[in-house]
Chains A and B, each alone.
Chain A
Amino acid sequence: MGQSTITVDSISKQYSIGPTRAYHTLRDQLANGFKRLFSHPPVCDDAENSIWALRDVSFEVKEGEVMGIIGRNGSGKSTLLKILSRITEPTEGGAEIRGRVASLLEVGTGFHPELTGRENIYLSAAILGMRKSEITRKFDEILAFSEVERLIDTPVKHYSSGMYVRLAFAVAAHLDPEILLIDEVLAVGDARFQKKCLGKMEEVGKEGRTIVFVSHNMAMIASLCSSCMFLHEGHLVAHGEAIKVIQKYYDEGISVAGEADFRNSNRKPGDETVHLLRARLVNGEGNVVTELLIHEGATIEMEYEVKVAGARLTPNLHV
């Protein structure tokens, strides 16, 4: 204990946005010359067309530490995990990681719908970095954990989403790396299974493994993590004892997150016919909230500006 396993040194990540760079055609590229085929996309100075998903983030994670990362959507949490997982490179800065890393950024990485549960256990585990002999050894354990024994030889496309998640997490829970990076994957699944996963994770944490995980579930962060990091718009706002950081997050965030107000904005969502002015989530007592209890009634309030005379608006909500 005590030695740092992950050392992150002022990492920044820039993405270019806007339609111009998303997909260019081969013709444009050829016009720009063959040289660019091999060159790197340069750091983009054009502030209009780029966004810093992470800006100058530095921290350390000690061996055996369980660290949570919190922040609103788009604060850079997932980008950070992607960089640490070596899926994408940082634009600036660097990091050093001691030990074998496994990352769970999605439920059922590598699952193929046409393959059976049994086949998918092998496939997904191999993709997540397990050796074949190791999978064979742990197969029964994984199967028991997943609780889908009866359908293990059925293609997973016929599974209910709950069974799919259980199988996927059963594989993930049996990974044996020194460092585990987890993105909001526990948010799915029913409450009982979530609890089982948490138990398994705690067990893993106690074995001296280092875990970094992203969650919006503050209760979970508070109970599992020894430390926590709060990201906001790519910047590291707070890092330290989990309870204190969560408190800070609540202090800063809660009044705004359940409401979006575009009334004074130049970029109102919508088109020539209609603009969205305001949207908010209101609970049974009439308060704007970010989280709702499952049995609670809720209202979604949306305020529009219809810009064409006589047009009738029929709002649709897709969940």
Chain B
Amino acid sequence: MSVSPADSSAPIIRIRRSRGIAALQLKDLWNYRELVYFLVWRDIKVRYKQTVIGAAWAILQPLVTALIFTLVFGILVGVPSDGLPYAVFLYTALVPWSYFSEGISRGGASVVANTNLISKVYFPRLVIPVASIITPVIDFALSFLILLGLIAWFSITPTWAILTLPLFFLLTVMTALAVSLWFSALNVRYRDVGYTIPFVIQVWMFASPIIYPVTIIPFKWRLLYSLNPLVGVVTGFRWALLGKESPDFWTMGISVAGVLMLLAGGVLYFRQTERTFADVI
């Protein structure tokens, strides 16, 4: 490319200590979309290097979990499953849940894991957590295929509600992003966060209707319970795919509002602290 001396179109970069509330700079993020692509591509490439069965791990992990849970909770304990076969009831929830837990554990560690990039090259820092929650979408897609197979095996006919599934998946992604933004930014300054994430995931799983149906939660606690966005996600998945547990307006509304608040706060906190990432990391 050629460089003309008085190139008026050349971007002018102003460097100053920033004050006040940071701007969102979504445009900047959009300009770096190829970098997001390459980081996702890198993580996928690296992920199953030096493994024998490779990407089969992506399918095997939730499948083995489902098997164990079905054995323990479905058969031994006899947890109710809204009249559905427990295996399919559980696996329908486990697929978005696996995405979510993988997303926040990758996302939460993402900024610190990319220290070498943060301290050596400029790009909008949001690229990193965004890329880290896109990577496990591949695993999600693979497990989802298995889920479809399972639904067919148990001869469950999905209703038109299946068309709403992308919305519920979007809600899952947004929740994973919101949590990742908080954790990844906090993790830069407080490495305690890295040790906290596994516990958070464990508690969160039992606080979501994954191994049990929403209906076992007493009605007066339902609204509070719905503050957990995964309640909306899981109910949504079960409704869209299995035709059970139709989500009521309030449950969904509260879940969505909860996510939006968490996401807005997360973006704000991330943008606010990213100015000092390179100095603190």
Q: B-contacting residues of A (Cβ < 8 Å)?
A: 1-3, 15, 23-26, 29, 37-38, 40-41, 63, 82-92, 94-101, 103, 105-106, 109-110, 112, 114-115, 119, 122-123, 126-129, 131-132, 155, 176, 178, 207-209
Cα distance A128–B14 in the bound complex, in angstroms:
20
Cα distance A178–B12 in the bound complex, in angstroms:
12
Q: List 25 A-B contacts (CB under 8 A).
A: A15-B279, A25-B192, A26-B186, A26-B190, A26-B193, A29-B190, A37-B269, A40-B275, A41-B276, A85-B121, A86-B15, A87-B278, A88-B276, A94-B15, A96-B13, A97-B15, A98-B13, A99-B7, A100-B11, A105-B120, A106-B116, A109-B117, A109-B120, A110-B116, A155-B49
Tell me which residues across on chain A come within 8 A of B268, comparing CB atoms. Answer: 38
Tell me which residues across on chain B come within 8 A of A129, comparing CB atoms. Answer: 123
Residue of B nearest to A116 (CB): B45
Residue of A nearest to B186 (CB): A26
Tell me which residues across on chain A come within 8 A of B119, comparing CB atoms. Answer: 87
Cα distance A138–B189 in the bound complex, in angstroms:
40
Given A23-B191, A109-B116, also A90-B34 (CB < 8 A): no
Contact B17 A110 (CB under 8 A): no
Cα distance A131–B275 in the bound complex, in angstroms:
25
Q: How far is the CB of A73 from chain B (nearest CB, A)?
A: 18
Q: Mark B155-178, 1 if CB is under 8 A from A, else 0.
A: 000000000000000000000000
Instruction: Determine if B219 is an interface residue (Cβ-Cβ < 8 Å).
Output: no
Q: Mark B1-19, 1 if CB is under 8 A from A, else 0.
A: 1010111001111111111
Given A112-B42, A126-B38, also A103-B121 (CB < 8 A): yes
Contact A96 B121 (CB under 8 A): no
- B278: contacting residue among A82, A114, A132, A207, CB under 8 A: A82
Tell me which residues across on chain B come within 8 A of A128, comparing CB atoms. Answer: 121
Residue of A nearest to B12 (CB): A98
The 5 closest A-B pairs by CB, nearest first: A126-B38, A94-B16, A86-B122, A95-B15, A97-B13
Tell me which residues across on chain A come within 8 A of B34, comparing CB atoms. Answer: 126, 131-132
Q: How far is the CB of B192 from chain A (nearest CB, A)?
A: 5
Given A23-B191, A25-B192, A85-B121, also A2-B12 (CB < 8 A): no
Tell me which residues across on chain B come within 8 A of A131, comparing CB atoms. Answer: 34
Tell me which residues across on chain A come within 8 A of B35, comparing CB atoms. Answer: 126-127
Question: In the complex, given contacts A132-B38, A178-B3, what are 15 additional A-B residue pairs having Cβ atoms less than 8 angstroms apart?
Answer: A3-B6, A26-B192, A38-B272, A40-B19, A86-B15, A89-B275, A96-B15, A98-B13, A103-B120, A105-B120, A109-B116, A126-B38, A131-B34, A207-B3, A208-B5
Tell me which residues across on chain A come within 8 A of B192, comparing CB atoms. Answer: 25-26
Given A38-B269, A91-B17, A127-B35, also A209-B3 (CB < 8 A): yes
Q: Is the interface of A mostly helix, strand, loop or mixed?
A: loop
Q: How far is the CB of A163 from chain B (nearest CB, A)?
A: 20
Q: A-contacting residues of B (Cβ < 8 Å)?
A: 1, 3, 5-7, 10-19, 34-35, 37-38, 41-42, 45-46, 49-50, 116-123, 186, 189-193, 268-269, 272, 275-276, 278-279
Contact B45 A115 (CB under 8 A): yes
Contact B122 A87 (CB under 8 A): yes
Cα distance A155–B108 in the bound complex, in angstroms:
28
Q: How far is the CB of A302 from chain B (nearest CB, A)?
A: 32
Residue of B nearest to A130 (CB): B34
Cα distance A127–B122 in the bound complex, in angstroms:
9
Cα distance A114–B45 in the bound complex, in angstroms:
9
Residue of B nearest to A119 (CB): B45
Q: How far is the CB of B126 from chain A (nearest CB, A)?
A: 14
Contact A115 B42 (CB under 8 A): yes
Contact B121 A114 (CB under 8 A): no
Cα distance A24–B191 in the bound complex, in angstroms:
9
Looking at B38, B45, B46, B275, the one whose CB has the most chain A CB atoms below 10 A away is B38
